Amino acid sequence: MNAHAQISEADERAILDAIDKWIEKKVAPVAMRLEHDDEWPAELVEDMKALGLFGALIEPEYGGLGLSASTYARIVIRIAEEWMSLTGIFNSHLMMALVVQKFGTQKQKDYWLPRFATGDMRGGLGLTEPDAGTDLQAIRTTAKRDGDDYVVNGAKTWISNAIQGHVCALLVKTDTEIQPRHKGISMLITPKIDPDTGAARAGIRNGKKLEKLGYKGIDSGEFIFEDYRCPADLSLIGGEEGKGFVMATGGLEIGRINVAARSVGIARRALKESVKYAQIRRTMGKPIAEHQAIQLKLGEMAAKTRAAELLVEDAAKAFDAGGRIDMEAGMAKYFASETAVEVATEAMRIHGGYGYSKEYVIERLYRDAPLMCIGEGTNEMQRIIIARQLVARNPA
């Protein structure tokens, strides 16, 4: 599914123009209020459904737009410049959808993907547990086969779309004894509601909504499974146990490109605001943009932001070409997220006291940026992945 046919430049421009108009008319006027109130952006989510964003990477035969990762990354950058939280709502959902699209049985694709493409059934990946983050093999949530069903018990945390969403691609242990541990891991599609009737499913409930430093508006929450039952034929992705670890790590590749693109959006906005402010703010009789100390900051911010953009383009093109891209995605995610933190911090310094004020967008960028270094695999792990791939691709 990676080797997308490229859409024409005219079609891409039309899509990006539609996104830009929506951002200007609908997102920009409300982003600050919704973010500070940590309010679920219900109306904007309906707009994103209408724009096709929940089906952006789903193939047209299932009702999606079938966009390339390159076009998708450009969309993410644009939206993240205005309000980064929105990109998490559809990206977490698309990571789940891509696992089904790439690894699911034909029956599962036919059943789930059209529902995912419209955004009527929205969700995300259920990987993280209280004692298992980057080390996915340490998960404890179990799924035991019982006739035609699986019975799931366990808990997940830090799940995007957990509360407002309807379904989750859940990483579980189907064999707790096997070695190596990853061979006992599978992935299930676990809806909170019946996809056909909308009725609540028994055995699954949300824990608390998690309060966060930034990344407001989108809900990050907990899932608790207590003897939750789901039919094996629709739920066990690919129809074979023991393949979940590969599915989870494969799903993270587009997630890492997304996080890198979000980081570019944050850095771009911080740079843009800084360039504008430095020309308006005056000290010692001239705009601070004419002070060498500020010029040094702006020059470095601009160069690193552009470098991050290029790494995202590189990773997206590699994704579209198919094949293994963990090095490219890791490089983009690592560098772009570190750049976002650095540029947002420098932007706050350039703005001085105003950067610390909630009336300016800078304090939000400053709070949002650190998550990019943590989400979809820590930057420490990215550097290890990059190094391992570098050695593997260049044997002595």
Annotated active-site positions, please? 376
Q: Rounded distance, CA 76 to CA 151, Å?
A: 37
Q: Rounded distance, CA 100 to CA 117, Å?
A: 12
Q: Rounded distance, CA 277 to CA 69, Å?
A: 33
- Using alpha carbons only, give the angle 144, 99, 240 rounded to the nearest 5 degrees: 40
- Using alpha carbons only, give the angle 77, 5, 256 rounded to the nearest 5 degrees: 35
> Residue 227 in contact with residue 190, Cβ under 8 Å?
no
SS (H, E, C) the chain: CCCCCCCCHHHHHHHHHHHHHHHHHHHCCCHHHHHHHCCCCHHHHHHHHHHCHHHCCCCHHHCCCCCCHHHHHHHHHHHHHHHHHHHHHHHHHHHHHHHHHHHCCHHHHHHHHHHHHHCCCCEEEECCECCECCCHHHCCCEEEEECCEEEEEEEEEEEECCCCCCEEEEEEECCCCCCCHHHHEEEEEEECECCCCCCECCCEEEEEECCCCCCCCCCEEEEEEEEEEEEHHHHEHHHCCCCHHHHHHHHHHHHHHHHHHHHHHHHHHHHHHHHHHHHHCEECCEEHHHCHHHHHHHHHHHHHHHHHHHHHHHHHHHHHHCCCCHHHHHHHHHHHHHHHHHHHHHHHHHHHHHHHCCCCCHHHHHHHHHHHHHCCCCHHHHHHHHHHHHHHHCCC
